[in-house]
Amino acid sequence: MNVKTVTDQVCDSKAGFASPVHPVQSMIAYGRLPEFVALTKPRVMMLAVFTALVGLIDAPLRLEPVAAFVAVLAIAAGAAGAGVLNMWYDADIDAIMSRTAMRPIPRGKVSRSEALVFGLALAVAAVAGLALATNITAAALLAGALLFYVVVYTAFLKRSTRQNIVIGGAAGALPPVIGWAAATGDIGLQPLVLFLIIFLWTPPHFWALALNRRDEYARAGVPMLPVVAGRAATTRQILVYSVLLAAASVLPWAFGFAGPRYGATAAICGVLLLWLALQLSRSGEADRRAAHRLFVFSIFYLFVLFAAVSIDRSTPSSPSIRSSHDARIDAGSGIATQITPSSIGVRAREV
């Protein structure tokens, strides 16, 4: 029996809990603000904002405070909109999986039509706000990330291929590039290296989670790698991507974007990551702890790397970036100053 058809009927039958027309008014009128906040996937949104903030901080130009605030707010709204639209489309499989069954739409607290309107409003406002506050390049990158995540990953890849997480991870890896572009109007080598780190981080992170949720994904019809290839093949792939990730994590130091403290941090964290991945590859079928340890550490790993690259950053030296900045300044668009190294205190939260 078609999973989406059955669960759509369940969701539609519960839609009476919420008005389908005006989500903003109804969330206030019925005291459902926490439900709408939950739709935005706050933990995922925080991770996207954090990595975008690192790209913004590391850029060689500094935005005016108001523009910087609006840029961060727009990126947060974009990530929130993507999360809402993901829950809108995936309401059928969310109702089947125990990990997601308590989300607002499966519980009937928010209707699918409300979620669709809310998600689209956030996405449009995010792209427009970023374009007005910064530049078209950053807004186009944000729009591209949204479309890729919602249309390519959520609506197609997630339900059709075992490589869903690998390919779809490109959308989640874009925030530091967007942050950099918001400040500079350009795409340089440094944000692309940060993009690569997140892109390689995504498969081992989510496959470690999926290993312990294999039965749920199978029941929902989602072809995650552990479902279609089994545990042994998945743990091998996790090890391969962990090796690639550990190697990519030292690139900011190797290219001179970050100092020796970052290099040492990346090396130590990389060794720990590889040790946990190796432990997982040698663990037995019934061992759930090894996958959970790797999953939890991967969150800490990404947070520490990005905090370290921001704290121990070096002055960017890309000629193309410098020339474009000089041209912009000569044209009278304003005087740009180098930002000083600063630390950022952001709590690592589970995705």
Question: Tens digits of per-residue pLDDT, 184-225?
Answer: 999 999 999 999 999 999 999 999 999 999 999 999 999 999
Residue tagged 């009278």 (tokens): 332
| Digit-coded pLDDT (tens) for 81-104 | 999 999 999 999 999 999 999 999
Residue 38 contacts by C-beta under 8 Å, 6 or more apart in sequence? Answer: 103, 104
| Digit-coded pLDDT (tens) for 13-65 | 444 344 444 555 566 556 789 999 999 999 999 999 999 999 999 999 889 99
Cβ proximity of 337 and 82 under 8 Å: no
Q: How many CB atoms are located within 10 Å of the residue 264 CB?
A: 14
Structure-token pair, residue 18: 């919420």
Torsion of CA 129, 131, 133, 137, to 10 degrees: 140
Using the CB atoms, write b or e for 43-79: b if 16+ within 10 Å. Answer: ebbbbbbbbbbbbbbbbbbbbeeebbebbbbbbbbbb
pLDDT at 126: 98
Each domain of the chain, given as residue ranges in start order, spans: 3-330
CA dihedral over 80, 205, 153, 141, signed as positive or negative: positive
pLDDT at 3: 42
Provide φ and ψ at 46, rounded to 5°: -65, -40
> How many H helices and E strands in the chain?
19, 0
pTM of the model: 0.82
Structure-token pair, residue 222: 């989602």
CATH class for the region spanning 3-330: mainly alpha
